[in-house]
Structure 1
Amino acid sequence: MERLKTDLLVIGAGSGGLSVAAGAVQMGARVVLLEGGRMGGDCLNYGCVPSKALLAAAHAAHAHTHAARFGLTATAPKVDFAAVKDHVAGVVAQIAPHDSEERFAGLGVRVIREYGRFVSNTEVEAGQYRITARRIVIATGSSPLIPPIPGLDTVPFLTNETLFDLRERPEHLLIIGGGPIGIEMAQAHRRLGCRVTVIEGARALGQDDPEMAAVVLKRLRNEGVEIVEEAPAAQVSGTPGAIKIDTKDGRSFAGTHLLVAVGRRANTDKLNLDAAEIETTKTGIRVDAGMRTTNRRVYAIGDVAGGAQFTHLAGYQAGVILRPMLFGLPAKTSGDHIPRVTYTDPELAQVGLTEQQARARYGDRLEVVRVDLSAIDRAVATHETDGFIKVMVVRGRPVGASIVGAGAGEQIALWALAIAAGLKMRHVAGMVAPYPTVGEIGKRAAGAYFSPRLFDNPRVRKIVGLVQRWLP
């Protein structure tokens, strides 16, 4: 067995691991990177990239059927499902070189295409190598959670890791799980010509503001997606092409294909964490605010750390842990400014506290400002007025923002910046937004916060009256 010594060992070449490896090696550290699966991890190969490529194809198909509102002839799109999947694969292939073994080797990273397994507090075995490192980063990500539904192991089903390989269009796609993945894929497949039924054990999009979620769910239902809520799956049965789901309330739903999208589990099975005295929780590896595990030499970031599962969160955590690992400086992570987006049409975006969370924390000190997209001229021009923004404000400072509507994922960046930088509503009000853009809604929200203070304030009126008397 060949022995290697390095400054930093990174286990996992997904978003977080690649960010750590690239940053560390370019600042002079010796870096070894382990990856037994595909470079780029879940996001590139099975998650963010292929799903958004599929949604883009679905959006283009949907545009055909809604052209009449622009004075054009509406037509039913002819969907070549295999060609759509070629488009998805092409997008992944175009981005893949950025995450490739060749690129990272060119940066100076020693890339070993093997899974890593701890054999001591400071040593990891990977294939024929035993690696000793001063610091180790676990960035092994997560995998689809397969729920213990009776009969599920007897029928063929899809997860996000197999869905994008499907070349023939499902006639009727059943989806267990009404979270962001399930709802995104429901709309995409419906727009590409499939019948779709979503079965959710609680409330669909249950982690989001209910008022916001209702806008998205209404759109999907209007497009023909059947969404069944408060209906836990009790039994799955059938054969390829004929699958049935029985729910606990006694109903049955039949379809040709089944997608399981009920959540994800941390990838820790191959790591032999006990050998390194690394503790886990129900959701992943136990870490402190600085992303350190119970082994002080080892950090864990991204999905495997058991928190929110976003690519951009893993990238943020990667930047934070570089400070103590490379420079010995203290650093802590924060989740308050981390946005999330559901990429349906309309999109649903959130950063900071929802209205419900903010009311529970701040009570009467909370002010909520709201602006409808129907008040935004660009949204009127593009017939995309379904949606609105809500900003939660405490003493002039935003503590959360919720947006549902066209481009919500782009618009939430402003509020992520405001919360991260500790800006106040006056700073957003002072911004000049180009006209006409949907992004004007952020400035409008700030204006809505100040309007009653300026225009409905007797004191302001009195001061203006006095000044006007004395002005020459």
Structure 2
Amino acid sequence: MTQRYDLVILGGGVGGLVTASVAGQLGLDVALVERTGRLGGDCLHYGCVPSKTLIRSAEVAHLARDAGRYGVAATAAATDLGAVMDRVREVVARIQEHDDPERFRGYGVDVVFGEGRFVDARTVAVGDRRLQGRRFLIATGSRPAVPPVPGLEEAGYWTNETVFDQRELPRRLAVLGGGPIGLELAQAFARLGSEVTVIEMAERILPREDPEITGELQRLLADEGITIRVGTTVEGVDAGSEGARLSCRDGAEAFAVDADRILVAAGRRPNVESLEPDNAGVRVEAGGIPVDARMHTSARHIFACGDVTGLYPFTHVAEYQAGVVIANVVFKLPKKADYRVVPWVTYTAPELAHVGLTESTAREHGYTVQVARFRFADVDRALAEGTTGGLLKLVVHKQRIIGATVLGPHAGELIHELVLAMQAEVKIKHLSAAVHAYPTLAQIHRRAVNTLYADKLYAPSTRRLVRWLHRLLP
């Protein structure tokens, strides 16, 4: 059976759903193909939603054990991981209601469940159906990359796709990967009661972030009892009746890590193979499907967005890219993606949020920069809440912020004032002049900026000017 559409979308994650919703409601004939039996994608089922729900439960357990620091007498029983995961599933199910296939069918979208593959440049096969389209969107996302470590398959491992199905808390957990997923889940399990070791091949955790900030985060995580080994490779895994032994190497040092369970969080791979993209003339590279600024693939009538492009593996970027696709496909407007001001957040405690250039990257690009820092330990609201770890770091060029990193409580919320300042090219004097409510964590923005004015404000020349004005004027 062959059917014809204006737009065929492959992938029912956020990129595909946003595009399908708008295109369908505006009257286009749209088919949405999803290989699993449910919509919502990796973010809803294996990523953002379940991980943040788990992190919140872990935070509650941590606060209960740490209650004495707040003057409260409390005790915390051993964690029932099954009960925690039940809550995770409840939250996912609640949000899943927004991604009900019938909702999209009500928009006029033909929702098709099954594995889609290109037969040719204008046809996608799903089972015995043939979907022909004028335009296509590939939004199939990504999956965990599993390193080729000898013995790992035999020993067994978790990924973000299986970790939320677990019911028993491991006594010892080894995490392969010191990126956002690895660190978030490592801290969550440590706070729930596991003994956690993180093993990262790079010389530091979160290699894309400012090294000054990641160094501090690593110290804070270590203070919670998490062992972090950077610059370390896993050379093999031996499975035994008492768990697994990971043979590791850090330069000349060889050592072993014993674990009851292994969590692999060593990067992502684009979901492209089953699409048979060669049949449609779509070029694929190791990191994903290359796209231009208008989200075209090498086949001009086929677009791609989200993780499958390998650009920015964030749900909010997939949603933004979907907007670019909608402009080009639905409204025929030549809109281009602009990634100059893209924030992202690692949801450890404290959170690490970033936007723009780091200090080192800015200097490498030839910018003459000023750097402002202010610590949460000097922010009254942070002191009141007992969350004083971390700092704000601003990178400023010609009185405008070109990069910012926040390591601290609610950093994912705080970063957006700086995102707006960068997007609107606001000068830092306006941040300094803006009235910030007291006591709030957001005061850190104003106070960081003011450190750049302190030397000039209290300089000898300014003191002389003030004395002269007071002698001259009544």
Same fold per superposition (TM over 0.5): yes
Q: Which moved more, 1:172-181 or 1:257-266?
A: 172-181
Which deviates more, 231-240 or 335-344?
231-240
Moved more, 382-391 or 324-333: 324-333
| Whole-Å separation in 2 of the counterparts to 1:125 and 1:455 | 71
2:211 is equivalent to residue 210 of structure 1: yes
Q: Please tell me the residue identity of whatever aligns with 1:276.
A: A
Deviates more, 1:430-439 or 1:448-457: 448-457
Q: CA deviation at 1:73?
A: 1.7
Q: In structure 1, what residue type is equivalent to 2:34?
A: E
Aligned to 2:372: 369
Check 1:462–1:129 CA distance in 2 against 1; reply closer, same or farther (3 A cut). Answer: farther
Alignment of 1:134-149 (within 5 A): 134-149=134-149
Equivalence for 2:444: 441
Counterparts of 1:328 and 1:449, CA distance in 2: 46
- The 8 Å contact of residues 197 and 226 in structure 2, kept in 1 or not, is answered as yes
Secondary structure of the corresponding residue to residue 119 of structure 1: strand
Q: Which residue of 2 aligns with 1:385?
A: 388
1:338 aligned counterpart, secondary structure: coil
Is the 1:65–1:77 Cα contact (8 Å) retained in structure 2? no
> Does the Cα contact within 8 Å between 1:240 and 1:257 map onto a contact in 2?
no
Q: Is the 8 A contact 1:366 1:394 kept in 2?
A: yes
Q: Residues 246 and 325 of structure 1: is their aligned pair in 2 closer, same or farther, counting only changes over 3 Å?
A: same
Match of 1:330 in 2: 334
The 5 A counterparts of 1:385-424 are 385-424=388-427
- 2:263 pairs with 229, 253, 259, which one? 259
Q: Distance in 2 between matches of 1:110 and 1:33?
A: 6
Report if aligned partners of 1:397, 1:424 keep a CA contact under 8 Å in 2.
yes
Q: Which amino acid aligns with 2:444?
A: I
Q: CA deviation at 1:147?
A: 0.9
Task: Letter of the 2:446 partner, please give it.
Answer: K
User: Secondary structure in 2 aligned to 1:94?
Assistant: helix
TM-score normalised to structure 2 length: 0.95
CA distance, structure 2, for counterparts of residue 97 and residue 341 of structure 1: 26
Alignment coverage as a number of residue pairs: 469
5+ unaligned residues in a row in structure 2: which ranges?
A: none
Shift of 1:383: 1.2
Any idea what SS the aligned residue of 1:250 has?
A: strand
Quick one: distance in 1 between partners of 2:78 and 2:439? Answer: 34
| Equivalent position of 1:270 in the other structure | 274
Matched, 1:150 2:150: yes
How many Å separate the matches in 2 of 1:406 and 1:118? 46
Q: What SS is found at the alignment partner of 1:22?
A: helix
Contact 1:336 1:419 in 2 (8 A): no
Change (3 A) 1:66 1:463: same
Which amino acid counterpart does residue 222 of structure 2 have in structure 1? R
The percent of aligned pairs where both chains have the same amino acid is 43
CA contact (8 A) 1:156 1:240 kept: no
AA at the equivalent of 2:405:
S
Once the two structures are superposed, residues 296-316 of structure 1 have per-residue CA deviations (whole angstroms, 9 ceiling, x without a partner) of: 001111110011211111111
Q: Which deviations, in whole Å up to 9, do the C-alpha atoms of 1:410-454 show, x marking residues without a partner? A: 111111222222222133223222211101111222322333344
The one-letter code matched in structure 2 to 1:34 is V
Does residue 247 in structure 1 map to residue 248 in structure 2? yes
User: 2:401 is paired with a residue of what secondary structure?
Assistant: strand
Q: Distance in 2 between matches of 1:321 and 1:464?
A: 58
Q: Indicate yes or no: 2:67 matched with 1:64.
A: no
Q: Secondary structure at the match of 1:327?
A: coil
Q: State the shift of 1:345 in Å.
A: 0.7
Superposition map of 1:36-435 within 5 A? 36-37=35-36, 38-202=38-202, 203-239=204-240, 241-248=242-249, 249-363=253-367, 365-435=368-438
Alpha-carbon RMSD across the aligned residues, in angstroms, is 1.8
Aligned counterparts of 2:405 and 2:239: Cα–Cα separation in 1: 41
Residues 156 and 239, structure 1, Cα contact 8 Å, conserved in 2 = no
Shift of 1:239: 4.0
Question: Which one-letter code corresponds to 1:415 in the other structure?
Answer: L
Divergent runs of 4+, >6 A:
none
Give the structure 2 partner of residue 16 of structure 1: 15
Deviates more, 1:318-327 or 1:236-245: 236-245
- Cα distance in 2 for partners of 1:12, 1:419 equals 32
Structure 1 counterpart of 2:382, one-letter code? A
Q: What letter matches 2:308 in structure 1? A: V
The alpha carbon displacement at 1:467 in A equals 5.7
The answer (yes or no) to whether the contact 1:12–1:140 under 8 Å persists in 2 is yes
Contact 2:85 2:167 in 1 (8 A): yes
Q: Distance in 1 between matches of 2:241 and 2:155?
A: 7
Distance 1:118 1:449 in 2: 57
Q: Deviations over 1:334-393 (max 9, x none)?
A: 222111111111111111111111121235x11111111122110111111111101100
Moved more, 367-376 or 260-269: 367-376
Q: Which amino acid aligns with 2:10?
A: I
More divergent stretch after superposition (191-200 vs 444-453): 444-453
Q: Confirm or deny that 1:32 pairs with 2:35.
A: no
Deviation at 1:30, TM superposition (A): 2.3
